[in-house]
Structure 1
Amino acid sequence: MLKNHFKIALRNLWKHKVFSFINVTGLSVGITACFFIYMYVAFELSYDKFHSKVDNIYRLVTDIKTPSETINTDVTSWAFGPHIKPEFPEIEAFVRVSGESFLVRKDNIKFQEDKALYADSNFFKVFDFKLLKGDAKTALTAPASIIFSETSVKKYFGDADPIGKTVLITGNAVPAIVTGVMKDMPANSQIKADLLISMTTLTQKFRTDIDDQWGNYGASTYLLLKPGTNPKALEAKFVPVIEKLNGREQRERKMAATLLLEPMKDVYLHTTRGGQEVGSMSNVYIFSIVAVFILLIACINFINLTTARSVERAKEVGIRKVVGAAKGELAAQFIGESVVLCIIAFFITLALSSLLLPVFNQLSGKVVSTGIFSNPGYVAGLFGLSVLIGLLAGVYPALVLSSFRPVMVLKGRFSTGTKGNMLRKTLVVAQFSISIALIIGTIVVYDQMSFMRNQDLGFSKEQMLVMDTDNDPGQEAFKQAISTLPGVKATTLSSAIPGGGHSGAYSEIENNKGDLQVANLALYFVDFDYIKDYGIKIIAGRPFSRDFLKTDTAQAMIINEQAVKLFGYTTPEQAIGKRFKQWGREGKIVGVMKDFHYHSLQEKIDPLTMRVEMKAFNKVSVRLSTANLPVTLAKIESAWKQYIPNKPYSYFFLDEFFDRQYRSEQRFGKLFFNFAILAIAISCLGLLGLASYSTYQRTREIGIRKVLGASTSGIVNMLSIDFMRLVLISFVIATPVAWYFMHKWLADFAYRIDIQWWVFASAGILALVVALTTISFQAIRAALTNPVKSLRSE
Structure 2
Amino acid sequence: MFKNYFKIAWRNIIKSRFYSLVNIIGLAAGIAFTLIIVSYVWSELQVNRNLKNADNQYIIQSRWKNPNQGIELTSLGPLAKQLKERYPDLVANYYRWDGVTSNVSKGEKSFREGIQICDSTMLNMYGFTLLYGNAAKAFDGPYSVVITEDRAIKYFGKKDVLGQTLTIENFSGSKHDFIVTGVMKMPEKNSATFLTDDNNNQFYIASQNINYFGRIMEAWQNQYIVSYIELQKGINPAALDKPMQYLINQNAPPQIAANMKPFLVPLKEYYLSANNNLVKKMLYALSGIAFFILLMAVINFINLSVSRSATRMKEIGIRKVLGGLKQQLIAQFLIESVLLVFFATLLAIVIAVLANPIFSNVLGKKIPAITDFPLYFMAFPVILIIVVGVMAGIYPAFVLSSLKSVDSLKGKLNTIGEKVLLRKSLVALQFGTATVVFIGAIIISQQVNLFFNSDLGYNKDYIVSAQLPRDWSLNGVAKMETIRKQFAALPQVSNATLSFEVPDGNSSGSIALYKAGSDSTAAIASQLITTDEYYASTFNIPMAAGIFYSLPGAFTDSSKIVINQTQATALGWKNPQDAIGKQVVFQASGGFTCTIAGVTKDFHFGSMQKTIQPVTFIHVGVNRVFRSMSFKLKPGNISASMEALQKQWSILLPGTPFEYSFMDDTLAKLYSTELQLKKAAYTATVLSLIIVLLGVLGLIALSIQKRTKEIGIRKVLGSTVAGIIALFMKEFLLVILIAGAIACPLAYFIMHNWLQAYAYRINITAMPFIISIVLLALLTGVLISLQTIKAANANPVNSLRAE
TM-score using structure 1 length: 0.93
State the Cα deviation string for residues 377-433 of structure 1 (Å, max 9, x = none). 445532442233222322123223313332123235456421111111111111111
Q: 2-side partners of 1:412 and 1:200: how far apart?
A: 84
State the Cα deviation string for residues 646-689 of structure 1 (Å, max 9, x = none). 42233222232223322322122111211222122212222333
Q: Residue 543 of structure 2: which of 508, 515, 538 is its match? A: 538
CA gap 1:157/1:703 in 2 versus in 1, 3 angstroms: closer
After TM superposition, give the deviation of residue 519 of structure 1 in Å: 3.9
After TM superposition, give the deviation of residue 319 of structure 1 in Å: 0.6
Correspondence list, 1:451-470, <5 A: 451-470=450-469
Q: 2-side partners of 1:412 and 1:194: how far apart?
A: 71
Q: 2-side partners of 1:255 and 1:537: how far apart?
A: 36
Q: Does 1:602 align with 2:609?
A: yes
In terms of mean alpha carbon deviation, does 10-19 or 705-714 score higher? Answer: 705-714
Amino acid at match of 1:661: L
| Paired position in structure 2 for 1:211 | 218
Amino acid at match of 1:238: M
Q: Residue 245 of structure 2: which of 239, 261, 264 is its match? A: 239
| Paired position in structure 2 for 1:146 | 145
Q: Does 1:268 align with 2:271?
A: yes
State the Cα deviation string for residues 19-67 of structure 1 (Å, max 9, x = none). 111111112112111111111111121111111311111110011236x
Amino acid at match of 1:612: H
CA gap 1:240/1:415 in 2 versus in 1, 3 angstroms: same
After TM superposition, give the deviation of residue 549 of structure 1 in Å: 4.8
Q: Does 1:764 align with 2:773?
A: yes
Q: Does 1:686 align with 2:695?
A: yes
Check whether the contact 1:440–1:759 (CA below 8 A) recurs between aligned residues: yes
CA gap 1:704/1:505 in 2 versus in 1, 3 angstroms: closer
Correspondence list, 1:77-96, <5 A: 77-88=76-87, 89-96=89-96
Amino acid at match of 1:175: D
SS of the equivalent of 1:218 reads coil
Q: 2-side partners of 1:373 and 1:550: how far apart?
A: 59
Q: 2-side partners of 1:548 and 1:160: how far apart?
A: 50
| Paired position in structure 2 for 1:64 | 64
Q: 2-side partners of 1:377 and 1:361: how far apart?
A: 24
CA gap 1:623/1:425 in 2 versus in 1, 3 angstroms: same
Q: Residue 481 of structure 2: which of 476, 480, 497 is its match? A: 476
State the Cα deviation string for residues 199-249 of structure 1 (Å, max 9, x = none). 42454444475412x232211111101111111232244223322333xx3
| Paired position in structure 2 for 1:581 | 585
Q: Does 1:565 align with 2:569?
A: yes
Q: Does 1:499 align with 2:504?
A: yes
Listed as ranges, the gaps of 5+ residues in structure 2 are 195-199
Amino acid at match of 2:613: D
SS of the equivalent of 1:29 reads helix
Q: 1-side partners of 2:69 and 2:654: how far apart?
A: 44
Q: Does 1:780 align with 2:789?
A: yes
State the Cα deviation string for residues 437-493 of structure 1 (Å, max 9, x = none). 001011111111111110111112211222222234342332232222222211222
After TM superposition, give the deviation of residue 142 of structure 1 in Å: 4.2
Q: 2-side partners of 1:199 and 1:61: how far apart?
A: 22
Q: 2-side partners of 1:245 and 1:510: how far apart?
A: 28
Correspondence list, 1:280-319, <5 A: 280-319=279-318
CA gap 1:604/1:74 in 2 versus in 1, 3 angstroms: same
State the Cα deviation string for residues 314-355 of structure 1 (Å, max 9, x = none). 211111011111111101001011111122222212221221
% identical aligned pairs: 33
After TM superposition, give the deviation of residue 696 of structure 1 in Å: 4.4
Q: 1-side partners of 2:16 and 2:559: how far apart?
A: 85
Q: 2-side partners of 1:597 and 1:724: how far apart?
A: 46
Q: 1-side partners of 2:500 and 2:68: how far apart?
A: 25
CA gap 1:425/1:208 in 2 versus in 1, 3 angstroms: closer
Q: 2-side partners of 1:271 and 1:632: how far apart?
A: 39
Check whether the contact 1:303–1:397 (CA below 8 A) recurs between aligned residues: no
Check whether the contact 1:579–1:588 (CA below 8 A) recurs between aligned residues: yes
Q: 1-side partners of 2:278 and 2:143: how far apart?
A: 33
CA gap 1:575/1:84 in 2 versus in 1, 3 angstroms: farther
Correspondence list, 1:90-105, <5 A: 90-105=90-105
After TM superposition, give the deviation of residue 718 of structure 1 in Å: 2.4
Amino acid at match of 1:265: K
State the Cα deviation string for residues 98-137 of structure 1 (Å, max 9, x = none). 3211211234432211x32222111122213222122223
| Paired position in structure 2 for 1:649 | 658
TM-score using structure 2 length: 0.92
Q: 1-side partners of 2:699 and 2:414: how far apart?
A: 14
SS of the equivalent of 2:146 reads strand
Correspondence list, 1:129-528, <5 A: 129-159=128-158, 161-170=160-169, 171-187=173-189, 191-192=193-194, 193-201=200-208, 203-207=210-214, 209-212=216-219, 214-246=220-252, 249-250=253-254, 255-272=258-275, 279-372=278-371, 376-414=375-413, 416-472=415-471, 473=476, 474-499=479-504, 501-510=506-515, 517-528=522-533
CA gap 1:102/1:351 in 2 versus in 1, 3 angstroms: same
State the Cα deviation string for residues 236-281 of structure 1 (Å, max 9, x = none). 44223322333xx315x684221101111111112346xxxx8521
Correspondence list, 1:714-729, <5 A: 714-729=723-738
Amino acid at match of 1:639: Q
CA gap 1:339/1:512 in 2 versus in 1, 3 angstroms: farther
| Paired position in structure 1 for 2:600 | 593
SS of the equivalent of 1:51 reads coil
Q: 1-side partners of 2:641 and 2:339: how far apart?
A: 65
Q: 1-side partners of 2:743 and 2:45: how far apart?
A: 29
CA gap 1:481/1:577 in 2 versus in 1, 3 angstroms: closer
Q: 1-side partners of 2:215 and 2:296: how far apart?
A: 63
SS of the equivalent of 1:98 reads strand
State the Cα deviation string for residues 513-538 of structure 1 (Å, max 9, x = none). 67673344212222222212221111
SS of the equivalent of 2:509 reads strand
Q: 1-side partners of 2:661 and 2:271: how far apart?
A: 28
Check whether the contact 1:268–1:279 (CA below 8 A) recurs between aligned residues: no
| Paired position in structure 2 for 1:708 | 717
Check whether the contact 2:463–2:662 (CA below 8 A) recurs between aligned residues: yes
Q: 1-side partners of 2:59 and 2:100: how far apart?
A: 19
Amino acid at match of 1:269: L
Check whether the contact 2:56–2:230 (CA below 8 A) recurs between aligned residues: yes
After TM superposition, give the deviation of residue 496 of structure 1 in Å: 1.5
CA gap 1:655/1:346 in 2 versus in 1, 3 angstroms: closer
CA gap 1:773/1:226 in 2 versus in 1, 3 angstroms: same
SS of the equivalent of 2:749 reads helix
Q: 1-side partners of 2:737 and 2:613: how far apart?
A: 46
After TM superposition, give the deviation of residue 162 of structure 1 in Å: 2.4
| Paired position in structure 1 for 2:5 | 5
SS of the equivalent of 2:714 reads helix
